Amino acid sequence: MTMRPRRRTAVAVLSATLLLAAPVATAQAASASPAPAASSATATLELPRPTGPYSVGTEILHLTDHGRPDPWVPEAGDRELMVSLHYPARAGSGSAPAPYMSTEEARLMLAERGLDDVVPASAVSSTATHARTDATPARGRFPLVLLSPGFNTPRATLTSLAEDLASRGHVVASVDHAYETTGTAFPGGRVLTCAACDAAEAAPDDAAEREVLRTVSTGRAADLSIVLDRLTGPRPAWENSRMIDGQRVAAAGHSIGGSAALSAMLTDPRFDAGIDMDGTFFEPVPAAGLGKRPFLMLGTEADHAPGGPDTSWDEGWQRLDGWKRWLTVKDSGHFTFTDTPELGEQLGLPTDPTAPLSGERSTRITRDYVAAFLDQHLRGHHQPLLDGPTPGNPEVVFRSP
């Protein structure tokens, strides 16, 4: 995500980060493009299969931070989070595959994008996933990865990445932050919509809007720390928390979720590594760096090449003081790093000609480079994929500003 001229700035950009708005080159293009007249809305959608050796289990947690009121709707009370856990599981265990999202969550997401008359909400909510509920955890202790989605974007849009990382031997916690998505289902039949988007839209100028988005980033950092507390603390909220190795933890995210990953590392030394997938840094990297901790910047060429529109990456790169990589992906769009390209193709939605990278390549690149970074820095296994360009991935450009 990149700051744009006023009224096509971050709110318009970020609110377009919706499933099925793509494949689109950038969030600005998504918000400006008309909805297609027709699509293969009756198609049966399916996420790409995980590639690792483990089966995948999943569970949903509702967490509350009783020490902090919600920043967007204080009268709602304590800050609430919905968390999808994906974890390595024993083969053959578990019951039915988990739902992708609720029908109401899908409806709200499609309505925000103007696709509710084109794509039935049930087509999206019933997307086939590969993680099973009630699955028996695999033996062993595994690194933990916390994922934060884009602004106004449900955590479900990172499901393919979460399932794949779990199949490769990580516990993954994908977080929906209350009042920061098109719609998130909470216990009691509540569906909370994006009050934070309203606050950003109401900002009187770019500086005020950017301050709202900085608050999103820092607030999400606090959210991620609470999730880490509740998964690894003395009274864990998850009955299978014993499988988490709390000494190997990473924060990662897409769009403003990537900024939140950096913010989490700035405030919480328990995060050992971080990944930003195509997100502006709304909280700058300090002059002191990150205490030598590794960080991966993975983004589009359009917005995130050196000297490009998003200067926060140029500034941040100079201050990152540990192992670091700055990678851009040719022919990619803002949503390349989510489930959107795969599902958009299955629905027959049009591809933006400025971002022609296929769904298959989008998924493969995102999964492989994120997993390689985590294996190298949470497991200590050197990954040649991160050493430089490879013939099998001609789209990935290693940047050295």
- CA 330 to CA 301: how far, in whole Å? 6
* Residue 251, strand partner residues: 146, 274
Tell me how crowded residue 301 is: count the other CB atoms within 10 A of its CB: 17
The structural architecture, per CATH, of the domain 10-398 is 3-Layer(aba) Sandwich (3.40)
- CA 280 to CA 297: how far, in whole Å? 10
pLDDT tens-place values along the chain, 401 residues long: 333 323 333 333 333 333 444 333 223 333 333 444 434 445 699 999 999 999 999 999 999 999 999 999 999 999 999 999 999 999 999 999 999 999 999 999 999 988 888 899 999 999 999 999 999 999 999 999 999 999 999 999 999 999 999 999 999 999 999 999 999 999 999 999 999 999 999 999 999 999 999 999 999 999 999 999 999 999 999 999 999 999 999 999 999 999 999 999 999 999 999 999 999 999 999 999 999 999 999 999 999 999 999 999 999 999 999 999 999 999 999 999 999 999 999 999 888 899 999 999 999 999 999 999 999 999 999 999 999 999 999 999 999 87
Domain range annotation of the chain: 10-398
Is the CB of residue 61 less than 8 Å from the CB of residue 85? Answer: yes
- Minimal CA–CA distance to 217: which of 257, 171, 254? 257
Pairing of strands 273-277, 295-300: parallel
Is the CB of residue 205 less than 8 Å from the CB of residue 103? Answer: no
Helix residue ranges, H only, 9-81: 10-15, 27-32
Q: Side chain identity at 120, as an amino acid letter? A: P
Q: Quote the tokens at residue 159.
A: 């499901």
Is the CB of residue 227 less than 8 Å from the CB of residue 260? Answer: no
Tell me how crowded residue 187 is: count the other CB atoms within 10 A of its CB: 9
